[in-house]
Amino acid sequence: MSSPRAAAAKAARRPTVKAKSARPVAVKRSPGSKPARANGVSADAIKLAAEIEREFAKHDDAISPEAMQALMGALCRVYSVQVENGGKHTPIVEGQSVSPTAVMVTASGLLRAANLAVFELGMWQSWTGR
């Protein structure tokens, strides 16, 4: 199992990707969640997500593996910090159109990328209550 520091260093070496702007879209929020701050990064992220979804609907190679890895790494770090700071929201809105299979494939890929096993996840969840 690699250390968090090694994983962070590896992630920092990955290239970053700049996105083109897109039209604003409506975003569902979790029940009871607070509205997001209307800063530029949040608005840009929502636009980027909508643009990726539109392009992905046209063809499934709309985003390069490097771009996907850069986005996934950034979102993992952001979500982790928000949870550590007391955030109670889930990474995706419950009932959002992400299939259970897609969630499992993604979770499996994240564990593999961090050199973790499902057993270690289970142990961590029992220790932290998360």
Alpha-carbon distance 24 to 51, whole Å?
Answer: 9
Here the contacts of 88-91 (C-beta below 8 Å, separation 24 or greater) are 89/30, 89/33, 90/30
H-state helical runs in the chain: 4-12, 40-58, 65-84, 100-113, 118-128
| Residue 97 contacts residue 47 (beta carbons within 8 Å) | no
Question: Other C-beta atoms within 10 Å of 16: how many?
Answer: 11
Task: Answer whether 0.95 is exceeded by the pTM.
Answer: no
Pick the closest to residue 72 from 11, 4, 122, 3 (CA basis).
Answer: 11
| Residue 23 contacts residue 50 (beta carbons within 8 Å) | yes
Q: pLDDT at position 57, please? A: 92
Q: pLDDT at position 96, please? A: 76
Q: pLDDT at position 97, please? A: 78
Q: What is the Cα 128 distance to its own chain's centre?
A: 21
| Residue 114 contacts residue 7 (beta carbons within 8 Å) | yes
| Residue 28 contacts residue 51 (beta carbons within 8 Å) | no
User: What's the average pLDDT block by block, 10 residues per block, for the chain (130 residues)?
Assistant: 49 39 40 60 92 92 94 94 92 84 93 92 85
Q: pLDDT at position 15, please? A: 39
Alpha-carbon distance 87 to 79, whole Å?
Answer: 9
